[in-house]
Structure 1
Amino acid sequence: MKKILILLLVLPFFAANAQYRTPVVRKDIPLDSIRLSDPFILADKKTATYYMTGTGGMLWKSKDLKKWTGPFHITQPDTTSWMGNNPMIWAAEIHQYKNKYYYFATFTNRKVFIDTVKGTPIERRASHILVSDKPDGPYVPMADPTYLPADKPTLDGTFWVDTNGKPYMVYCYEWLQNWDGTIEKIELKPDLSGSVGDGVLLFKASESPWSKERNAEGKVIPNKVTDGPWLFYTKTGKLGMLWTSWIFDVYTQGVVYSKSGTLNGPWIQEAQPITPPNFGHGMMFRTFEGKLLMSLHSHKDVNGRTIRIPHLFEVDDSGDKLIVGKRYQP
């Protein structure tokens, strides 16, 4: 667990500094040559372009998924807000909704601390939403300065419209404070410019049958990390959610299904991970030709430094449960 904590606290430092340097735009870059955590791909039919973002808050563009151009700087957060003038950006997503594009991302102010738990100082971190008229931005603030409580570290917010027609943010309440990470939902205003009411628990990390870690006594227990929720329907109408945790020191992609078919659950965990080891923070999109793909990243140690590489897998959603197939080569 110590290794995981170091990765979570140290690696984003490099992304935070990189995202505010003027990016050098490169062309015709293969996907596996890009270094990117939490890769999210929007297939925008209006512009016939794939847009990829993720941790670091930058944007890449492609017409065919083979060659990419970027990175581009596309966010303009409010530097007078709680985020501060140099916020880190994690796990960004772009969602099209009612003729606008919304940038869901985790922002961290490294100069503000909200708590200290078991000797670890916890920075001000929260999921937030920016808006733009175009998929490539710029993305700017909306009405509400905060969506989630200031005294809780939250991350990896994603978007879902439930069967009641209401929009929601689904996000993680980070394990660093509660030591049993959760995935929760909060209702959003109709234009996504703020949140309504309080967050509601969907499930806890400890409910997973496959994630594992060792406690201080060496006993194997469920891992405490919840990462990267992403919601979907199968073609049979089954509501599911991708989410990520760890099996000891291996990042691992899991899936959970809602018994009721709504966000209210109950959420039933699958017994086994859905992808091979060392892949996680997955999301799905359909190519312009109609093929369903999962985008996610792997970890690789290079000279003592962990790098993260985006990948694509083919997915079959024709039944009640997803089946992840072979690696996709554009």
Structure 2
Amino acid sequence: MKSVHRISFQKLTLAPLFLLFAIVSHAQQGPTVRKDVPLDSIRLSDPFILADQETQQYYMTGTGGMLWKSKDLKSWEGPYRVTETDPDSWMGPRPMIWAAELFNYQDKYYYFATFTNRDVKIDTVAGNVIERRASHVLVSDEPAGPYIPMEDPTYLPADKPTLDGTFWIDTDGKPYMVYCYEWLQNLNGTMEKIELKPDLSGSVGVGKLLFKASDSPWSREKDANGNDVPNKVTDGPFLFETGSGRLGMIWTSWIYDTYVQGVVYSESGTLDGPWIHEEEPITPPNFGHGMLFTSFDNKTLMSVHSHKSVNGRTIRIPHLFEVDLTGDKLVVVGPYVP
């Protein structure tokens, strides 16, 4: 928080002075931390859970830039503010933070997230103003942060809105970010990859197309003439391998106004694909933006969020599903209750 200058303290009574200090103290302390919070009482979009073996604790993040902790997936503590961004960077002093993900790699913890500076406009397409938005990576020595900037000020082009970056080591041994190029600008969202530096402190080269939103056989929307066409949204990629060694990706789009998640598999076993889409979504309606992790009791779980309208306001609630990866495909077993 910036210092307050040029205040005439002779004009302040005791009550306003106390109020000023209270506001500053609250801003520095961050949000109120709650304990023993059930998972379904948390309001969170794009939930991502890191099961950290060293601390034997689960760390959950997502949209909003906050962090929750749990020992058992049932009772959670938080939220904690864990990011420290540079106010003089392209992100601005208070960026929006979406879809944060946590990865433990080479004795460091990395925070992949989407940052938006709403004060910077980069384009206008079909009447939509495109804000400065991009996937980026922060680093920490601890899973609970703080996560701070690294070497490169940008990972992806400044004139291109990108989001939902995730992490994968491909068969060439190199680290990559897989991310979405947002449909608001290209009108047909894409899934892309870009190589990262060995310490993830920046990117190498340029992005490469993996597939387009219109390649999906299961997503749907109505075009301007009322015809059924594939939905234009690509959202929430997450990479995984099946028990047979097959490379897959879960990702999310829409069937009209319903949020759903599908799966796509790489024929080559690498990020280069080609990527072959399953015909049907893998989650029930209204669940999406998933990721996979292994619990401390060795279950493979998928975290997702649902949408719910309450008093005209949409809220998003995290959920867990158990999945089976032992065969050639990802199979959703059913809801998981800790």
TM-score after normalising by structure 1? 0.94
The alpha carbon displacement at 1:98 in A equals 0.1
Q: Paired residue for 2:161, among 153, 162, 175?
A: 153
SS at match of 1:177: helix
Distance 1:270 1:96, change over 3 A: same
Cα distance, 1:246–1:303 mapped onto 2, change above 3 Å: same
1:79 to 66, 79, 87: 87
Identity of aligned residues (%): 74
Cα pair distance change 1:322/1:20, threshold 3 Å: farther
Q: CA deviation at 1:79?
A: 1.0
Cα deviation for residue 21 of structure 1 reads 8.8
Superposed CA offset, 1:88-109 (max 9, x none): 0000000000000000000000
Distance 1:69 1:169 in 2: 30
Residue in 2 that maps onto 1:268: 276
SS in 1 for 2:185: helix
For residues 103 and 87 of structure 2, what CA distance do their matches in structure 1 show?
23
What is the 5 A alignment of 1:128-147? 128-147=136-155
Q: Counterpart in 2 of 1:277?
A: 285
How far off is 1:165 after superposition? 0.1
Cα distance in structure 1, aligned partners of 2:180 and 2:29:
28
CA apart distance, 1:326: 1.3
1:195 correspondence with 2:206? no
Distance 1:77 1:46 in 2: 26
1:226 to 226, 231, 234: 234
Equivalent-residue separation in structure 1 for 2:202 and 2:334 (angstroms):
39
- How far apart, in 2, do the equivalents of 1:157 and 1:274 lie? 21
| Alignment partners' CA distance in 2, 1:155 and 1:126 | 6
Gaps of 5+ in 2: 1-26
Q: 1:27 is matched with which residue?
A: 35
**Off by >3 Å, runs of 4+ in structure 1:** none
Partner residue in 1 for 2:296: 288
SS at match of 2:123: strand
Q: Deviations over 1:243-282 (max 9, x none)?
A: 0000000000110000000000000000000011100000
Q: Distance in 2 between matches of 1:254 and 1:20?
A: 41
Change (3 A) 1:59 1:206: same
Determine the C-alpha separation between the residues in 2 that align with 1:131 and 1:79: 17
Equivalent residue, structure 2, for 1:93: 101
Alignment deviations for residues 69-101 of structure 1 (CA, whole Å, 9 cap, x no partner): 000000001111000001000000000000000
What is the identity, as a one-letter code, of the residue corresponding to 2:251? W
CA-based RMSD: 1.0
**2:44 paired residue among 36, 40, 43:** 36
- How far does the alpha carbon of each residue in 1:224-244 deviate from its partner, in whole angstroms, 9 at most, with x for none? 000000000001100000000
Secondary structure of 1:146's aligned partner: coil
1:127-151 per-position Cα deviation (integer Å, ceiling 9, x unaligned): 0000000000000000000000000
Quickly say closer, same or farther: Cα 1:214–1:20, change in 2 above 3 A: farther
**Partner SS, residue 139 of structure 2:** strand
The normalised TM-score by structure 2 is 0.91
Deviation of 1:216 (Å):
1.1
Q: Identify the residue that residue 66 of structure 1 maps to in structure 2.
A: 74
- Give the Cα–Cα distance (whole angstroms) in 1 for the partners of residues 163 and 287 of structure 2: 19
Q: Which amino acid aligns with 1:56?
A: G
Q: 1:253 aligns with which of 261, 270, 284?
A: 261
| Distance of 2:304 and 2:28 partners within structure 1 | 24
Residue type at the aligned position of 1:244: T
User: Corresponding residue for 1:320?
Assistant: 328
CA deviation map 1:161-193 (0-9, x unaligned): 000000000000000000000000000000000
Q: Give the secondary-structure state (helix, strand or coil) at the position aligned to 1:141.
A: coil
Report the Cα offset of residue 152 of structure 1: 0.3
Q: Distance in 1 between matches of 2:155 and 2:28?
A: 24
The 2-side partners of 1:22 and 1:234 are apart by 41
Residue 222 of structure 2 is matched in structure 1 by 214
- Give the Cα separation in 1 of the matches to 2:115 and 2:86: 11
The residue type paired with residue 172 of structure 1 is C
| 1:11-40 Cα distance to aligned partner (Å, 9 max, x none) | xxxxxxxx9992110000000000000000
Question: Could you say which residue in structure 1 is the equivalent of 2:12?
Answer: none
Q: Which residue of structure 2 aligns with residue 103 of structure 1?
A: 111
Letter in 2 for 1:47: T
- Report what 1:16 is aligned to: none
AA matched with 1:190: P
Following superposition, the deviation at residue 328 of structure 1 comes to 0.4
SS in 2 for 1:206: helix
Tell me the amino acid that sits aligned with residue 310 of structure 2: V
